[in-house]
Amino acid sequence: MAIMFLFGVVPVSTFLMIWGIRYLENKENMAMIERGMDPKAHKVQEERRMNPSKTLKDSLLFVGAGIGLLLAIILSKSWQMDGPGLYFAFIAIFGGLGMLGAYLYERKNPPQFPEP
């Protein structure tokens, strides 16, 4: 049953998700063309408005989650502490510490937004 799920349902749902995203993007672009707007210029304008520190936040979140997972593995092997709660707790705690670090860094150094 699990093999059927992995090799059947997961690829089909992944394909449907990608198709749905592309369909909605195409529909949005067609609506913009009907209104006389340029879809490419809109995408460039959206990219400029993005927060430049998003990469910092994401990277510190994943680094923190990785450190939490590593420490959970070390603790579970060295102290024979088993259970999924340990893994989830350490990933959440250290991921949150990574986000806190990103917040503190941004508070000291506010992001510079590019001019439109």
The residue from 49, 64, 83 where one domain ends is 49
Q: 109 lies in which domain range?
A: 51-116
**CA 55-58-61 angle, 5° bins:** 145
* 13 and 27 assigned to the same domain: yes
Do residues 84 and 108 both lie within one domain? yes
Instruction: Clarify whether residues 63 and 114 are in a common domain.
Output: yes
pTM: 0.55
The reply to whether 68 and 43 lie within a common domain is no
The number of domains in the chain is: 2
**pLDDT band with cut points at 50, 70 and 90 for residue 23:** very high
Whether residue 41 is found in the same domain as residue 83: no
Taking only the tens place, the pLDDT of each residue in 77-112 is 888 777 788 889 999 999 999 999 999 998 898 877
- Do 27 and 68 share a structural domain? no
Alpha-carbon Rg of the chain, whole angstroms?
Answer: 22
